[in-house]
Amino acid sequence: MNCLSQQEEILFEAYIILSFARKVLQNDLLIVEKSFLKLKEPYIQLIHSSIGSISKELFEIKQQLHKRNIKIEFGNNDGTFTEFHCYFRGYVKTSRFLNVHLRNKVQDRLSNFFVPNSKLS
């Protein structure tokens, strides 16, 4: 069976992680906007800036995936695992990621946006 190249695997995983990271930040932004923090504007600006950075990265990744005729779809989530389907060169690859692993990867990625060169990354 024809598999994804190493570069394509990196794009596949980055697309998934960044998609989740953006969704988490969008949800957190709604919570911060509704919160009763005295100085919430710096947090809102930080989250907006991070969402912008993630969106730029996702745009570039989507362009690379499109050039390579790769399509990624989110599948089922059973509470423990999340399934993803990758369509490429006439093949379908189904990958299952442990939700805890995804959460940790997203957390590490967000740490890079909030605190560049942090010890967590």
| Annotated domain spans of the chain | 6-114
Enter the pTM of the model: 0.88
> CA-to-CA distance for 18 and 119, rounded, in angstroms?
20
| Per-chain mean pLDDT for the chain | 91
pLDDT at 105: 96
Decide: 102 and 19 in contact? Cβ < 8 Å: no
> What is the tens place of the pLDDT at every residue in 16-47?
999 999 999 999 999 999 999 899 999 999 99
Beta-bridge partners for 52: none
Judge whether residue 107 has pLDDT over 70: yes
Judge whether residue 118 has pLDDT over 80: no
